[in-house]
């Protein structure tokens, strides 16, 4: 089984943390690593310049430090997402690992995740440290029809990682009357906490649970408290357009998350 890392031919370092994160997950999950150098119209072909050799040496250095080697391949497409989707469909690929976009939007990861047959993992924060185990898997739970599938995926990843499972729900307080909004958030918190307990009972699992609110998504997400051993799991609706795949709520959570995130199709 193989973790596939998407890499630009112009990359000169750890590709936004993707290689280090792939090495970390490969060690935790007992998987191999493959590096897919993505070539699109107008991009520099792999190995065309000395920078390509330096990039490969940097990547191999990260993997060597973790005691890993990688299979290298070149994938081509009209877009990065198209090339990665073709590579993700290969036999034995279990997840695609991508680096963080400069604006933290994860837009390429979301485009790939929308149609990918396997989960997409987005590097964040200290997630690229290969020596750090996965100690806790957090499911972003919003109580929608997709939630049970996302929670099941998070529970499976927690099991594979020998990690604890946590369910976290997030809300943003609207501008306006603070008293009225506090009542709305309190009512929603009660409902979502009950939904968390019900889904855990259906799974026959124990987990830490919590509901977190803030003035912004960033504040609400950080209220949950995160450590270097955390992994977040978010989910979207299969078949939805890229714009609506994750929805405003989950897309905002993904952007605010300070830890690596796994995007699954619920």
Instruction: Give pLDDT tens digits for 56-93.
Output: 887 888 889 889 999 999 899 998 889 999 999 999 99
Environment class of residue 233 by beta-carbon count within 10 Å: exposed (0-12), middle (13-18) or buried (19+)?
buried
Instruction: Classify residue 130: in a domain, yes or no.
Output: no
pLDDT per position as a tens digit, 24-39: 999 999 999 999 988 8
Q: In terms of domains, do 38 and 75 share one?
A: yes
Residues of the domain holding 87: 2-123
Q: Which two tokens stand for residue 46?
A: 């792999």
Instruction: Judge if 91 and 144 occupy the same domain.
Output: no
Residues 111 and 155 in one domain: no
Give dist(CA 128, CA 261) in Å, integer: 12
**Do 90 and 199 fall within a single domain?**
no
Determine the pLDDT at residue 85: 93
Calculate the alpha carbon distances from 176 to 24, 180, 187, 216 in Å.
45, 8, 17, 14
**CATH label of the domain that carries residue 56:** 3.40.50.620
Give the count of beta carbons closer than 10 Å to the beta carbon of residue 236.
23
Domain stop point among 87, 102, 123: 123
List the structure tokens of 235.
Answer: 């989910």
Name the domain boundary from 90, 123, 156.
123
Among 233, 253, 259, CA closest to 158:
233
Q: How far is CA 255 from the centre of its chain?
A: 10
Strand partners for 97: 5, 121
Say yes or no: 110 and 42 in one domain.
yes
Is residue 41 in a domain? yes
Tell whether the model's pLDDT for residue 175 goes beyond 80: no
**Domain total for the chain?**
2
pTM score of the predicted model: 0.88
């Amino acid at each position: 089984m193989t973790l596939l890392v998407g890499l630009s031919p112009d990359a000169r370092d750890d590709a936004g943390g993707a290689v280090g994160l792939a090495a970390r997950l490969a060690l935790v999950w007992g998987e191999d690593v493959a590096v897919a150098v993505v070539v699109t119209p107008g991009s520099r072909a792999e190995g065309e310049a000395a920078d390509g050799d330096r990039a490969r040496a940097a990547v191999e250095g990260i993997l060597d430090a973790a005691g890993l080697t990688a299979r290298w391949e070149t994938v081509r497409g009209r877009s990065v997402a198209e090339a990665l989707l073709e590579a993700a469909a290969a036999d034995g690929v279990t997840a695609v690992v991508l680096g963080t976009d400069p604006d933290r939007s994860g837009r390429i990861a979301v485009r790939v995740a929308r149609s990918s047959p396997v989960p997409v993992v987005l590097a964040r924060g200290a997630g690229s440290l290969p020596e750090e185990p996965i100690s806790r898997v957090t499911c972003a739970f919003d109580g929608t029809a997709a939630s049970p599938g996302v929670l099941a995926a998070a529970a499976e990843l927690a099991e594979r990682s020998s990690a604890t499972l946590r369910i976290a729900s997030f809300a943003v307080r609207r501008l306006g009357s603070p008293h009225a909004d506090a009542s709305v958030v309190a009512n929603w918190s009660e409902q979502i906490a009950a939904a968390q307990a019900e889904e855990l009972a259906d799974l026959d699992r124990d987990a830490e649970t919590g509901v977190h609110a803030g003035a912004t998504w960033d504040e609400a997400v950080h209220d949950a408290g995160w450590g270097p051993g955390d992994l977040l799991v978010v989910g979207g609706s299969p078949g939805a357009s890229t714009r609506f795949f994750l929805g405003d709520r989950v897309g905002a959570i993904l952007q605010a998350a300070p830890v690596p995130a796994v995007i699954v199709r619920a």
